[in-house]
Structure 1
Amino acid sequence: MDAQKPIVIGVTGGSASGKTSVARAIFDNFSGHSLLLLEQDSYYKHSDLPFEERRKINYDHPLAFDTPLLHQQLTDLIARRPIEKPVYDYTIHNRASEVVHVAPRDVIIVEGILILADETLRDLMDIKVYVDTDDDIRVIRRIKRDMAERGRSLDDVIQQYLTTVKPSYHQFIEPTKRYADIIVPEGGRNTVAIDLLVTKIRAILAERGLRE
């Protein structure tokens, strides 16, 4: 392994599967360490379409993401170069005008529904994690989240789930499970899987001479 190279951990799964809970559990286990989270959602493409047309875009399709930009910025972070990360505004279904300055870190967690769908992204990852959660649980979580945090109506959330989210999950996201090194049922509640991940990360940190 390359000494001093950051550790890149990919965490994926369906919408509302618990990816963030797994990422947060890793964060909590490395409190005070040099670590950052890079969300694929930040890399939705900018659109010049009117708002009503943007609402109809399939945001669970690989073409909805600016994957080349994500790959370039992840490559920069691995090379210890800072980036200007884009910001996505869910209320307007579009990329915001501001960016966020992100400095390199020793541990990089890349989280998103389709991060394992692209071979160039997979090749940058040291550990690939798939969070496997039942469809019924995911749709209930999504309804609660989108209504509370993203200003969506119940009808809007259900319509989007049935027309794009669910079909895209089975067509594009679930097949990427075969690329995962670790499959985590139940997300952040699976303490055994989290402990295994943390142990592996500590081992790689030691191998690369990255102090915890």
Structure 2
Amino acid sequence: MNKPYVIGIAGSSGSGKTFFLKSFLNHFAVDEITLISQDDYYIPANTKTREENRLYNFDLPTSIDREAFFHDIKDLFDGKTVFKEEYTFNNPNIKPNILEIKPAPILIVEGLFIFHYTEINDLLDYRIFIDAEESVALERRLKRDLIERGYDKDDVMYKWIEHVAPSYNQYLLPYRDICDNVLINNTDDPLLIHQATNIISDDLREKLQLL
């Protein structure tokens, strides 16, 4: 198998990265594209108490099993299928699924630290940076964590101020200028995301002559 074309996608918390990814992946058949996510490589913290989890910083590069993440990316390069336990945000009530990540001509690598991890950044052929104003991103984060994950508002704000924002400023923002495509997503209009993914996927198909 030839080396896949590797697209790195990173975004701030609340930038709309998940919706962007879903829209982007829908432009391709399952045998054309595959996705590997940094989030599935968090070092388990489920032995900690709720209070310890509140203080534990999940927004540091050291919170990820960086070696395993890189190893599995290289396996995909070698045409191997990767089996990985899905990350469940340390929720003991959720039984994690086993992800089957198959090699494909296009490989999406996504995560907060993919540009900071030099060994992974060096593998990327195309870099996409998804961003939003802090007030917009925080509002989205609050909505997600309070409603979808049942977190306490004080916990969410503590992590945003002490962990999320500083990590973004130190480990992601400095790489914005090296990215091939910077998408500012300050609205919740899905049409704008669909239009952006239409353009990027069409350009990519032309480049790789997949049509």
Normalising by structure 2, report the TM-score.
0.85
Structure 2 residue aligned with 1:6 = 4
Structure 2 residue aligned with 1:77 = 76
Amino acid across the alignment from 1:47: A
Instruction: Measure the CA separation in 2 of the matches of 1:30 and 1:87.
Output: 22
- Displacement of 1:130 in angstroms is 0.5
Structure 1 residue aligned with 2:202 = 199
Structure 2 residue aligned with 1:59 = 58
Given the superposition, is the C-alpha separation of residues 71 and 23 from structure 1 closer, same or farther in structure 2, using an over 3 Å criterion?
Answer: same
Identity of aligned residues (%): 29
Structure 1 residue aligned with 2:42 = 44
Given the superposition, is the C-alpha separation of residues 204 and 74 from structure 1 closer, same or farther in structure 2, using an over 3 Å criterion?
Answer: farther
Amino acid across the alignment from 1:197: I
Structure 2 residue aligned with 1:34 = 32
Instruction: Measure the CA separation in 2 of the matches of 1:33 and 1:48.
Output: 34
Structure 1: stretches of 5+ with no match in the other structure: none
CA contact (8 A) 1:43 1:69 kept: yes
Instruction: Measure the CA separation in 1 of the matches of 2:106 and 2:24.
Output: 10
Instruction: Measure the CA separation in 1 of the matches of 2:199 and 2:70.
Output: 27
CA contact (8 A) 2:46 2:90 kept: no
Instruction: Measure the CA separation in 2 of the matches of 1:48 and 1:98.
Output: 16
- Displacement of 1:174 in angstroms is 1.0
Given the superposition, is the C-alpha separation of residues 198 and 98 from structure 1 closer, same or farther in structure 2, using an over 3 Å criterion?
Answer: closer
Structure 2 residue aligned with 1:149 = 148
CA contact (8 A) 1:128 1:180 kept: yes
CA contact (8 A) 1:131 1:184 kept: yes
Given the superposition, is the C-alpha separation of residues 36 and 148 from structure 1 closer, same or farther in structure 2, using an over 3 Å criterion?
Answer: farther
Given the superposition, is the C-alpha separation of residues 31 and 99 from structure 1 closer, same or farther in structure 2, using an over 3 Å criterion?
Answer: closer
Greater alpha carbon shift after TM alignment, 101-110 vs 115-124: 101-110
Q: CA RMSD in A?
A: 2.5
Normalising by structure 1, report the TM-score.
0.85
Structure 1 residue aligned with 2:176 = 177
Amino acid across the alignment from 1:123: D
Greater alpha carbon shift after TM alignment, 192-201 vs 131-140: 192-201
Q: In structure 2, the residue corresponding to 1:113 is in which secondary structure?
A: coil
Is 1:134 matched with 2:133? yes
CA contact (8 A) 1:20 1:111 kept: no
Structure 2 residue aligned with 1:90 = 89
Instruction: Measure the CA separation in 1 of the matches of 2:27 and 2:83.
Output: 27
